[in-house]
Structure 1
Amino acid sequence: MAYLSIINHLENDSSIIMKKNIIQSSLTIGKYLPFALLLSLTSCKDSFLDVPPQGQQPSEQFWKNEGDATKAVNAMYANLRSWNNTAFAPMAVESIASDDTEKGSSPSDATFFNKFDTFTASASEGQIGDFWKGQYQSINYANQVIDNIPAISMDENLKTRYIAEAKFIRAYCYFRLVRAFGDVPLRLSLAQDAAAYNLPRSPKAEVWAAIEKDLKDAASILPQTYGATDIGRATKGAALALNAKVAMYQKKWSEVVALTKQVMGMGYSLFPNYEQMFRIPNENCSESIFEIQCKLILGNAAASNSQYSQVQGVRGSQGGGWGFHVPTQDLVNEFEEGDPRKDATIIFRGEITPQGDVIPATGDNPMYNQKSYVPFSLFISGYNEGADQNIRVIRYAEVLLMNAEANNELGNTADALASLEMVRARARQGNNAILPKVTTTDQALLRKAIYHERRVELAMEFDRFFDVIRQGRGAEVFGKKGFKTGVSEVWPIPQNEIDLSAGVLKQNTGY
């Protein structure tokens, strides 16, 4: 089945300090196991990889030792930054339909994005198929680790940790799938033949339960922190924070409070400067709970494969980016007067960035995403612009906002206000003339304030669309764009997957 691709990417690691895993190679399950493993250098907060090139390895000789286990786990992480996981497909499926973002670029470029903006994307739209494929490919990597590593004779503590890391990644991918499609095929082990991959869709309640089990298992094993060579791997805090988000989507408010309180006691803190938090020197900072690690490798453009920042970068002139996934005026209007996060989130045409880049005063787009921005001085001809930029997945600020939302829903007003104020105080950056403290004790008004804070704090971070859906406000917020209640809460199952399944997979209602 295409949705459980047998094409894989494997990477290796070493003990050299302050390296980042950015290598890419492929494994075809069957006769050969090729590896293209490349050297990388990075900053003092970067992570876990540095190896020379190696050749092909027959798959029957793989899964034999600790080195094989390490290669497979690093490959699983590497796939998270792939095109289908971080570029056009997730922008289409997870963000463009919201009121925060629109297509961008030139009017005639990649017009398929407009179908997502107007809720007219069909089951045959390629970005839907690519998103599905990207998630199941990562799930397949995780399942290989979970199924094969137990039989390897290796350090037992490392073995259990690797399996826990794989469960976190699998849970993360199923989380993305279930909120995008609802019921999805639940594959929790490798099939022994192609026919066994042809699974029907499991009810979303079962998928949520499987995600929760993986995250609970992972949190019981994963460490709170790593040494310098392993920064960027999934931690206990990452598993707890993602589990809190999973509980929030299901309105399990008591669980959200319990899980976020655990994370709040683990030493994370809000980075003092909101704009600087998203810059390369501050990757994996005190606020970071989980980031996808990316790197530009001099001498190997193919391995510098992250295009997350490139496709969103300032279009034209020195910018070098493609100009997609840009902010809307509606998002601009949401920010309160004087909120520094507006200028830290949005690059406006004609401005000079804090890093000194002059943004052209004319062009196709009046605004760009500043959170994915990489200074033009770091661009190197022949490489993807911004390939160094890590992708922030879970931040401590979101944990605080989840805690605030859950406490408000439970009637714990004081606790909700306290967590909300922590986020606003950081945004205020000492200027008490802006962003006044929220003091309302009315549950509905406080809920509205928390929804607002999530929108401005997490803007352009691929949550707004699904936040509105889980809040039951789809028609209210997106109705003018073409949202249809009972249909548009999820996207269609890719038609190609239905065809390949010979009808085992059934389509979502209304598509």
Structure 2
Amino acid sequence: MKIYNHTALRKACAIVITGTILLSTSCTKSFLDVPPQAKQPAETFWKSQDDALASVNAVYGNLRSWSNTAFPALAVESIASDEADKGSSTNDASYLNDFENFRVTSTDGQVLGFWEGQYQNINLCNQVLDNVPGIEMDANLKSRLLAEAKFVRAYSYFRLVRAFGGVRLHLNVPSTPEQFNKPRASREEVYAAIEKDLDDAAAVLPASYSTADVGRATKGAALALHAKVAMYQQKWPLVLSLTNTVMGLGYSLLPDYQSVFRLNHENSSESVFEIQCEYNPGTKDASNSQYAQVQGVRDQAGYWGFNTPSAELAAAFETGDPRREGTILFVGNTTPQGDLITSAPGDPVRYSHKPYVPFATPYDNNNPRGGQQNVRVIRYADVLLMNAEAANELGNSGQALSSIEQVRLRARQGNPAILPKVTTTDQTALRAAIYHERQVELAMESDRYFDVIRQGRAAVVFGPKGWKANKNEVWPIPNTQIELSVGVLTQNPGY
């Protein structure tokens, strides 16, 4: 999403919709460099094609917010896993230790922030879906924008359902107290709504965009996300079918693993969906992603040093696997871009390499350090590994081996002495190999925690950290939401 219409972008930067939600972000990647001109009230909005574009641009812009990509998201989706530690200094944001040790309660602020962030996304999507159909505009563009909103709504509900189980299901903007204060839908009902949105989106979205719109949701993104949603429900024939389709859409792995995550390879041939972020000098509203800032090397170039790779993750890589250095910045090493990684006593000795932005990258006091780093949400390597897992579960070891080999071949980088081919056709052994490949290929990308739970291995893998069965499969529903509902929302067991 590199460039958008001037007028639509200005409106996306700051508009008030339904009198309740202030949108102060845009989703341009490199074009908009002017501050918001005004705050537009709802009664003068939803009139034109530019308004429709602005509303969907604002949906994308909100995806890079603090709740979606910083502490709340990293706590709920990463720090709890065995691949990550809290990071930073011992006493800095010590409340994040509750995720490492499974002491989180329903009053935790990060759980609430994550919940609110997803429902903010959903609210913005619902406003698009409720209002854009009534705008007189190009019919094909209207259909595409509605499909983009359905994709983002599905993505946000997927993040909610795997974190909390059944949640409130809002498919329209509530207009009455009863519509707003709904009880939780079942897990199955939420998944059904997600799958319908993704089916609808995939039927309309293009396979690719012109340069001006690169970064918007595509058909491949909708199909790949649907495959992941189906994987969490163990719908293996559907996972296999969807990933087979995505594998025919022209995606490919970049030759060098580490390069996948660098600024100059954003939206590459391996990218299925990324959250678009940008540095716009002097424009704080348009450059607000703190994804890289909170994870960068502590006290170097203004980074904070949270969500650091664990010793367990460092030990998980096979000898010689270049993905180890592509995933982890080790203190004492120098990056290919020339940055020496240092650490004070008591600070982490490892940092995540994937959100790394070179220290000399442009920056100003209005914007977070590294705010131009896109967040990789779905990569083609993930599609290949979902395909391998589904094929193995269905007894097709040949296809499973072919798909996992594509991932290992890239990691091998032409060196036959490392990462030998997986050759076993025993279903149990091959399943373990695929699980391991997901661990090292997708490390620090917010999948490991929920992968282990869906695989039924959490009691063994996370048990030493305090994880308890029949409780920690999900996080607590935020207590403030239960209180506001006057008990209509119910709490998850054990909390």
Scaled to the shorter chain, the TM-score interval is: over 0.9
Question: Which of 374, 391, 394 is residue 378 of structure 2 equivalent to?
Answer: 394
Counterpart residue number, 2:332: 350
Deviation of the 1:52 alpha carbon? 6.6
> Residue deviations 1:221-241, cap 9 Å, x none?
000000111000000000000
Amino acid at match of 1:486: N
Alignment of 1:23-34 (within 5 A): 24-30=13-19
Tell me, yes or no, if the aligned pair for 1:22 and 1:295 is still in contact at 8 Å.
no
Q: Give 1:447's aligned residue.
A: 431
| Correspondence for 2:4 among 13, 34, 45 | 13
**Aligned match of 1:428:** 412
1:474 aligns with 2:465: no
Q: Quick one: distance in 1 between partners of 2:162 and 2:469?
A: 16
Q: Does 1:303 align with 2:258?
A: no
Q: 1:191 to 1:41 in 2, by over 3 A?
A: closer
**Letter aligned with residue 182 of structure 1:** G
Q: Are the equivalent residues in 2 in contact too, given 1:347–1:368 (CA < 8 A)?
A: yes
Corresponding residue for 2:121? 138
Contact in 2 for aligned 1:39/1:52 (Cα 8 Å): no
Corresponding residue to 1:280 among 247, 263, 285: 263
1:22 deviates by 12
Pairing 1:48-447 to 2, within 5 Å after superposition: 53-316=36-299, 318-360=300-342, 362-363=344-345, 364-382=347-365, 383-447=367-431
CA distance in 1, matches of 2:447, 2:28: 31
What corresponds to 2:493 in structure 1? 509
- Cα offset, 1:320, TM superposition: 1.9
Specify the SS of the correspondent of 1:30.
coil
Residues 377-396 of structure 1: per-residue CA shift (max 9 Å, x gap): 10424131100100000000
Q: 1:302 to 1:164 in 2, by over 3 A?
A: closer
Q: Contact 1:21/1:40 (CA < 8 Å) preserved in 2? A: no
Q: State the distance in 2 between where 1:231 and 1:15 align.
A: 16
Q: CA deviation at 1:360?
A: 1.2
Following the alignment from structure 1 to structure 2, what is the Cα–Cα distance between the partners of residues 304 and 22? 16
Question: What does the per-residue CA deviation read over 1:208-249, in whole Å, with 9 as the maximum and x for residues that have no partner?
Answer: 000000000000000000011100000000000000000000
Distance 1:175 1:71 in 2: 24
> Which deviates more from structure 2 when the two are superposed, residues 377-386 or residues 80-89?
377-386
CA distance in 2, matches of 1:441, 1:34: 55
Give the aligned residue type for 2:392: N
Moved more, 301-310 or 283-292: 301-310
> Per-residue deviation at 1:301?
3.4
Deviating more after overlay: 21-30 vs 139-148: 21-30
CA distance in 2, matches of 1:282, 1:158: 28
SS of the residue corresponding to residue 112 of structure 1 reads helix
CA contact (8 A) 1:234 1:290 kept: yes
Distance 1:101 1:60 in 2: 46
Q: Return the offset for 1:56.
A: 3.1
Amino acid at match of 2:18: I
Quick one: which amino acid aligns to residue 14 of structure 1? N
Equivalent residue letter for 1:229? A
Rounded Cα–Cα distance in structure 2 between residues aligned with 1:439 and 1:21: 55
Return the alpha-carbon distance in structure 2 between the equivalents of residues 507 and 39 of structure 1: 35
1:51-93 deviation per Cα after TM superposition (whole angstroms, max 9, x unaligned): 7743233321211110110110000000000000000001111
Structure 1 distance, partners of 2:261, 2:27, is 25
Query: Which amino acid letter does the alignment assign opposite residue 121 of structure 2?
Result: S
Distance 1:460 1:429, change over 3 A: same
Task: Read off the aligned partner of 2:358 and give its amino acid letter.
Answer: P
How far apart, CA to CA, are the structure 1 residues paired with 2:280 and 2:144? 28
Instruction: Answer with 353-362 or 336-345: which moved more.
Output: 353-362
TM-score by length of 2: 0.96
Question: Structure 1 61/97 Cα, relative in aligned 2: closer, same or farther at 3 Å?
Answer: same
The Cα offsets for residues 33-64 of structure 1, whole Å up to 9 and x where unpaired, read as: 9776889773xxxxx76777432333212111
Change in Cα spacing, 1:144 to 1:421, as seen in structure 2 (3 Å) is same
How much identity, in percent, do the aligned residues show? 58
Shift in CA distance, 37/136, structure 1 to aligned 2, threshold 3 Å: closer
Q: How far apart, in 2, do the equivalents of 1:90 and 1:187 lie? A: 21
- State the distance in 1 between where 2:292 and 2:401 align: 35
How far apart, in 1, do the equivalents of 2:453 and 2:122 lie?
25
Letter in 1 for 2:413: Q
Q: 1:20, 1:41 within 8 Å by CA — same for their partners in 2?
A: no
Amino acid paired to 1:187: H
Which stretches of structure 1, 4 residues or longer, exceed 4 Å deviation after superposition?
A: 19-23, 33-41, 48-52
- SS, match of residue 185 in structure 2: coil
Of residues 433-442 and 373-382 in structure 1, the stretch that sits farther from structure 2 once superposed is 373-382
SS of structure 2 residue aligned to 1:376? coil
Paired residue type of 2:406: M
Determine helix, strand or coil for the equivalent of 1:143: helix
Unaligned runs of at least 5 residues, structure 1: 1-11, 43-47
Q: Tell me the matched-pair count.
A: 491
Tell me the amino acid that sits aligned with residue 471 of structure 2.
V
Structure 2: stretches of 5+ with no match in the other structure: none
